[in-house]
Structure 1
């Protein structure tokens, strides 16, 4: 049963951008200054740089007292890539994440206090934080309200770095994880933004006359950009991904696919596989 208290806890879910500390909006900074406790789920030693970046952002923008409470993110079964087994694995992982976040909110956030989760990119796009908070609220063990502050997603940052629009005149945009793209290319579905593609599905799409705008670690000092006809650059992107994963222990990348046209397919300066 939820505790009966006249001053419920409040949670801020703050989009912190794709990696560049300057991606924080004024609304995000104002929200951060309201929070007394920041919750961080660590991704293990190989992704310590992500936790450090969060702390750097807090140090840069906050002057008042605050606490950072860290917990280890639970293991997720990433071997299940198809249909119901994938959905089941994700729900199981989210449920275990909710167990951890529920404990942190109860034990580390006093009634009447304001806590925050800093979310990469935008909380509404391929992020689990909002679903986890709804799970916790449905359990009825702790009473809290929550507010969402949008952020700059890797999708919008990718388009900005390549100096292109995501859509073309009168055409839709299709945003999909790489896992779904591998199940079938959405023909005549406008321009396609692909996220979470650990299997390099773009390598299976050569010979279709596609152009790719690809970026990894967007907005960070390690940023890599490549733009060009997919048939010509797919192999180079694969090599860059392998080298970057070996160097950092992890990779986050996003790409835009579209039918090639002379008018729109001009790569941005610096989009040659080197850091931008």
Structure 2
């Protein structure tokens, strides 16, 4: 029994269930989409399926990421103790865990309409292929946004059986947001990435990373303001955006000196950015 418990614990660590910050950062835009698509009253089944789906697919994304980076992680200080890199979980085991997580998530999607089921194949492909992008492009953070933001159009499809312009604009905002926060995350590993030849937007943007991420944050907030205007949302939504803007400014302060611990704090602070937008949405609809 102890051996079984230890295997399960390693799978738990592999899926990063011990670090739920990633779940929250992925969950907020999904909730934004469900509240907007459902006019403040998302269907209970759709809400439950998407919350569970975010948890499962974030875990699956972590597993396939570690599988893809199994030759890189032993050379990165922050990653060398991950289960595959440390030799506690085999690559074959990781693929099995990934398959179980994806199949469980797909089983939940089967409770939705056919449009959502069809879109889930696109989302699964993006999530599975993302970890390999850092070998070929300096924009893997944008690809991450496309992958994990795909819950947004899926949420509109599940709730309304269509994806209006507002849904695609929100998807763009979420894609750019992921690009920003994952660039802050990549700033922590920039020295190791340069050494082992991994590409990232942190490397691509270089000394201009603050100006570019700050500009993107302004664009994201602008897109969210447009959505509020288009949906005629009440003032609490804009109060939420104002709070989110404050968090964005704070994140820029944190990354100003390229200090690695503060760059990681900036990444973590995006949880509050997402919560601020969601709180504004909920209060606006109430």
The answer to whether TM tops 0.5 is: no
Structure (1 or 2) with the greater strand fraction: 1
Structure with more helix by fraction: 2
* Higher Rg of the two aligned structures: 1
What is the TM-score with the length of structure 2 in the denominator? 0.28
- What is the TM-score of this pair, normalised by structure 1? 0.29
